[in-house]
Chains A and B, each alone.
Chain A
Amino acid sequence: MQINFEHNQSAHCESGTASNLLRFHGLILSEPMIFGIGSGLFFGHFPFLKVNGIPGTTYRIFPGLIFSRTCKQLGIKMKEQTFRSETKAMEELDRILEKGMPVGLLTSVYYLPYLPAALRFHFNAHNIVVYGKKDGKYLVSDPVMETVTEIAPEDLQRARFAKGALAPNGKMYYPIFVPKEINLKRSIVAGIRRTAVDMTAIPVPLIGVRGIRFLAKKIAGYPKKLSERKSSLYLGNIVRMQEEIGTGGAGFRFIYAAFLQESSSILKQDWLMDISKEVTETGDKWRDFAYDAARICKDRATSGESYEKLSSMMLDCADREENIFTKLKKITL
């Protein structure tokens, strides 16, 4: 059994899955549009949340929120289920597929055999769509892959029931109500405002522009505080999160610029086009940071000077983003 499902590759798994699933239900929204309406852009550095002893950094909002915010804004109703029993989870998946509906699944990247080994870390919040079953294998539309692929039931089951942080517990979801008419303009404005608040107005020093400055200061102190090896591991992780699965080397800044560009013509507000350009420029600055940081990691350079330079590059990004989102906060219909 196979559902006629259109697969489009995307830069980010969550917004891509949402875009592909909603298109099946007749709502055509681009990936950047969903990323923007769902307020996907973010920054956070959490020194106390360590993975393998390395502090966590994120350039986008927490997993699952892009999707739930988009649905809320657009009035889409989703059915979401998690399971205790692995067998029941697979039966329920089959039952919905039998009805002719593609299903979104939360999986661990580590247990998806079709991905290249180098990308398979224990990351439990990867989104894929399963759109049918053929010769005992599930047909998969994984938004980071160029084309559709397939997976054996036992592998899928394992990936759906990976354990640890953000354990998916077999989570599956599909739209049960998609409105014919949506208020796109209002949703865009609400999405932008929320990102502007996330980035500039949350009084927690680890988040948004303040988070970027916080991390910049930490980086300047790495060579003094950490061993040579630790410094480059910490720094490498910051860059890795920035680059994580197809973000154009700019921690999702380019997707956001694409969103602002699209919004500019939908809302007929030309100034958003200028802001989009500014976001692109900032994205390029983040890329420069990634480039220099990766060099330092590779050479295991420990001179305080190079870390100082990285720190000031990041502070520059913070200033730019503060400026951008202070302007965007004032957006109206």
Chain B
Amino acid sequence: MEKDKVPQQDSNILEGKVKMLKYAVDENGNYTKVPSVGWEPETIVLSLAWDEIHEKIDAVRKRVLANEISPIAYFMEKEMLDIPLLSQYVGYFSFQVKRHLKPSIFKKLSRKQLEKYAKAFQITKEQLLDISLDNK
């Protein structure tokens, strides 16, 4: 890739926080480092991956609001965790976490248990109990 061909297509997906460093050849064929604000294909595949995640979150959110599944499922999806991973963070077995996904059992969780989940999701206990507070 030539230096002047290093793509500079800013899509704001990186919030202007990072410029990527690319290696490219200059006029004399020598490699140099060139910062790049972004490249369209990069952005496309990155947003595709995020769209997929957001769709999943929305789907779970609806199920939680319909009381089919407990709020733990929503925050689990939002934090991109799965049951085995979440069980490591909260220190329960997978089967316990799976039980806690049932709304009827979630209702019976102790304060201590709820706090463990809240800590794993980096939220407060109140947020965990009411997902409508969470509008991200």
Q: Is A187 an interface residue (CB 8 A)?
A: no
Q: Chain A residues with Cβ under 8 A from B93's Cβ?
A: none
Q: Decide if A146 touches B35 in the complex (CB within 8 Å).
A: yes
A160 to B97, CA, bound (A): 24
Is B31 a contact partner of A32 (Cβ separation < 8 A)?
Answer: yes
Q: Is A291 an interface residue (CB 8 A)?
A: yes
Interface residues on B, range: 35 or more
Q: Is A243 an interface residue (CB 8 A)?
A: yes
Cβ of B21 and Cβ of A232 under 8 Å apart?
no
B80, chain A: closest CB distance, angstroms? 6
**Residues of chain B lying within 8 A (CB to CB) of residue A163:** 85, 88-89
Other 19 A-B pairs with CB < 8 A, given A11-B23, A121-B49? A9-B33, A10-B21, A11-B21, A11-B33, A116-B15, A118-B14, A119-B18, A146-B19, A146-B35, A163-B85, A237-B49, A240-B45, A243-B42, A248-B6, A248-B22, A249-B7, A254-B22, A258-B23, A297-B48
A contact residues around B21 at 8 Å (CB)? 9-11, 144, 246
Judge if B44 is at the interface, Cβ distance under 8 Å: yes
The CA of A74 and the CA of B36, in the complex, are separated in Å by 32
Q: Are B45 and A261 in contact (CB under 8 A)?
A: no
Whether A326 sits at the interface, judged by CB under 8 Å, is no
- The answer to whether A117 and B49 touch across the interface, beta carbons within 8 angstroms, is no
Q: How far is the CA of A164 from the CA of B85 in the complex (A)?
A: 6
B23, closest chain A residue (CB): A254
User: What string of 1s and 0s marks CB contacts (under 8 Å) between A283-326 and chain B?
Assistant: 11001001101110110000000000000000000000000000
A254 adjacent to B24 (CB under 8 Å): yes
Any chain B CB within 8 A of the CB of A114?
A: yes
**4 nearest interchain CB pairs?**
A294-B41, A258-B31, A246-B20, A248-B22
Q: With a CB–CB cut-off of 8 A, which chain A residues contact B22?
A: 11, 246, 248-249, 254
B80: contacting residue among A10, A110, A262, A284, CB under 8 A: A110
**A contact set with B: CB distance below 8 Å:** 9-11, 32, 52, 110, 114-119, 121-122, 144-146, 163-164, 232-233, 236-237, 239-240, 243, 245-246, 248-250, 254-255, 257-258, 261-262, 277, 280, 283-284, 287, 290-291, 293-295, 297-298
Given contacts A11-B21, A249-B39, A258-B31, contact A284 B1 (CB under 8 A): yes
- Which residues of B pack against A, CB within 8 Å? 1, 6-7, 13-15, 17-25, 29-31, 33, 35-36, 39-42, 44-50, 52, 80-81, 85, 88-89
Minimum CB–CB distance for A165 against chain B, Å: 9
Contacts of B14 in A (CB 8 A): 116, 118-119
Contact B23 A291 (CB under 8 A): no
Contact of A240 with B15 in the complex, beta carbons under 8 Å: no
Indicate if the CB atoms of B80 and A121 lie closer than 8 Å: yes
Q: Is B24 within 8 A of A116, CB to CB? A: no
Establish whether residues A11 and B20, one from each chain, have CB atoms under 8 Å apart when the complex forms.
yes
Taking a contact as CB atoms closer than 8 A, the residue among B31, B41, B88 that contacts A257 in the complex is B31
A245 neighbours in B (Cβ, 8 Å):
20
* Closest beta carbon of chain A to B63's beta carbon, Å: 19
Q: Could you write out 23 A-B pairs with CB less than 8 Å apart?
A: A11-B20, A11-B23, A11-B33, A52-B80, A110-B80, A116-B13, A118-B14, A118-B15, A119-B18, A121-B80, A122-B81, A233-B48, A233-B49, A239-B42, A240-B45, A240-B46, A243-B39, A246-B21, A248-B24, A249-B1, A277-B29, A293-B45, A294-B40
